[in-house]
Amino acid sequence: MRENPSLSRIPFGRSFYYKETDIELGGGIISSMGFHQSLKPTAQGLSMCIDYKVIPLQLPVKVPKFLEEHLDLKFNANTSLNDKEWKRVEADLKELKVTVIHQKTSHKYVVAGLTPDISNNMKFENDKDSKRMVSVVEYFREIHGEEVEHKRLPCLDLTKNKRLNYVPMEFRVLVEEQRYPIESLHWNEALKIREKALITLPNLKEAIYEMIKDKDGPCG
């Protein structure tokens, strides 16, 4: 039952979702239709239960572009965040998965939050010379040959197991096809998702039949 939909749909637990969408919510967030499937024991034997679902999914997009579209912020080299914007940005990015664009790697990181200060002021001990404190901006210039443009923005805090990891936002991309928390959507975006999910019973029955018969469904 899982094998066929897993080949062409995005799996989340017992649910599977289309990669295509008909609603774009901004910031690389889309609505995706799919179904939840499970097996239930009945007097006649195991029965397959299918339910129609709609969730928000994240497409790959650079973090600054995501914030520009989703929070309606404008970024340039001199952009800084006030206290309210800082908290809003941290709340919207926390727990999202990101990957890098300045290195060739498929490793993914979970955003723990934002650094307490802007990129230009953040310093840490260099692993190669523990006596020398190096700024995030200097580190990326010397080690990766990259110049940090948004020096007045905080870095993403990707620290894990007490190993510090501060990276400027512009060098991170949100991981494709991760589920975006519906509670972090704007009220009008969440309303679009709910309107798409709440369909009438006749339409719901038809939608479930179509998903069962679909070539990439559980019976395909």
**140-191 pLDDT per residue, tens:** 888 888 888 888 999 999 888 878 888 898 888 888 778 888 877 878 888 8
* pLDDT given at position 103: 61
Q: Provide the mean pLDDT of the chain.
A: 83
For residue 171, give the DSSP letter.
G
Query: For residue 32, which of 60, 5, 14, 59 has the smallest C-alpha distance?
Result: 59
Q: At what angle do helices 83-93 and 63-70 cross, to 10 degrees?
A: 110
For residue 10, give the DSSP letter.
E
Q: 63-175, what's its fold?
A: paz domain (2.170.260)
Give the tokens for residue 13: 């637990």
CB 158 within 8 Å of CB 109: yes
Task: Kindly report the pTM of this predicted structure.
Answer: 0.72
pLDDT at 130 over 90: no
Lowest-confidence range among 5-9, 20-24, 54-58?
Answer: 20-24
The structural domains of the chain, with segments of one domain joined by +, span 3-59+179-213, 63-175
CB 31 within 8 Å of CB 182: no
Q: How far apart are CA 94 and CA 195, in angstroms?
A: 26
Average pLDDT over residues 58-68: 85
pLDDT at 105 over 70: no
Average pLDDT over residues 73-94: 86
